[in-house]
C-alpha cells in the first residue's frame, strides 16, 4: 500500500486524516438530489422528511429515483473504503474513509450540509470492510425495528452498537473501536429527532 512517510516513519494519523477527508468528499456526492431532479423533477430536500436518502426518494419521488439513490449511496461508501484499502496505509485508512464517507453523506458539502441518515453509505462501507459486519448491521436494524416497532429508531439503535461490533471484528484494535465510535456518532446524530419522536409517541418518516 502507498502510505504517507517522512524519513521512513509511517504516519497513521496523517493517513487517517487524509482518508477521512477523501471519504467525506466522496460521501458528499449528492446522489439523492441528482436522481430526484433527473427522474422526478423534484428537490428531495423539499419533500417527505427532507432526507437526501434512498427511502425518502423511493416514497416521495418514485421507484427509479429511490433505487438509483440507494445504489449510489451504497456505492460511494464502498468506493471510499476500497480506495483506502488500495492506496492507504494500515488499518486507519479504510476505517477513516468509512467514517468520512458516512459523515459526508449525512452533511453534504455540495448541498449546504443537508444530507441523509447514512444507512446506505454505512452498508456499502461495511460490505467492503467486512461483509459479515454488513450482515450484522442489517440484522441489528431489523432487531431494533422489531423491538421498538419503528424502523428509524431501530436504525439509530443499530448505530449505537457499532463500537462493539467493530471492536469485536478488529480484535479490539484501537483503530476499529475509534471508527465504531465515530460511526455511531455520525449516524445517531441524524436519528436524534427520531428518538425524540419515539419518546413522545410520534412516528417519523424516513
Residue 205 is predicted with a pLDDT of 45
pLDDT tens digits for range 62-73: 999 999 999 999
CB neighbour list of residue 2: distance below 8 Å, 6 or more residues apart:
87, 88, 89
pLDDT tens digits for range 194-204: 777 777 776 55
Contact 89, 67 (CB under 8 A): no
pLDDT tens digits for range 79-88: 999 999 999 8
Strands 5-6 and 9-10: antiparallel
The domain limits of the chain are 5-199
Contact 145, 199 (CB under 8 A): no
Closest CA to 102 of 28, 166, 159, 52: 28
pLDDT tens digits for range 141-177: 999 888 888 788 888 889 899 999 999 999 999 999 9
pLDDT tens digits for range 22-62: 999 999 999 999 999 999 888 999 998 888 988 889 888 99
Number of CB atoms found within 10 A of residue 169's CB: 17
Contact 137, 180 (CB under 8 A): no
pTM: 0.88
Placement of cell 512517510 in the chain: 5
Amino acid at each position: 500500500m502507498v502510505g504517507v512517510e517522512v524519513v521512513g516513519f509511517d504516519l497513521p494519523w496523517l493517513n487517517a486524516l487524509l482518508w477521512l477527508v477523501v471519504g467525506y468528499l466522496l460521501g458528499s456526492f449528492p446522489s439523492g438530489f441528482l436522481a430526484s431532479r433527473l427522474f422526478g423533477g423534484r428537490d428531495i430536500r423539499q419533500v417527505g422528511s427532507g432526507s437526501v436518502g434512498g427511502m425518502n426518494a423511493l416514497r416521495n419521488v418514485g421507484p427509479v429515483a429511490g433505487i438509483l439513490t440507494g445504489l449510489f449511496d451504497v456505492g460511494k461508501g464502498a468506493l471510499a473504503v476500497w480506495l483506502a484499502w488500495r492506496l492507504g496505509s494500515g488499518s486507519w485508512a479504510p476505517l477513516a474513509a468509512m467514517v468520512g464517507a458516512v459523515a459526508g453523506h449525512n452533511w453534504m458539502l455540495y448541498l449546504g450540509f443537508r444530507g441523509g441518515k447514512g444507512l446506505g453509505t454505512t452498508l456499502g462501507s461495511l460490505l467492503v470492510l467486512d461483509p459479515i459486519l454488513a450482515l450484522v448491521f442489517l440484522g441489528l436494524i431489523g432487531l431494533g425495528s422489531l423491538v421498538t416497532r419503528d424502523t428509524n429508531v431501530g436504525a439509530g439503535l443499530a448505530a449505537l452498537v457499532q463500537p462493539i461490533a467493530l471492536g469485536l471484528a478488529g480484535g479490539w484494535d484501537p483503530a476499529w473501536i475509534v471508527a465504531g465510535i465515530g460511526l455511531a456518532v455520525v449516524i445517531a446524530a441524524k436519528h436524534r429527532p427520531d428518538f425524540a419522536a419515539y419518546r413522545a409517541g410520534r412516528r417519523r418518516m424516513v
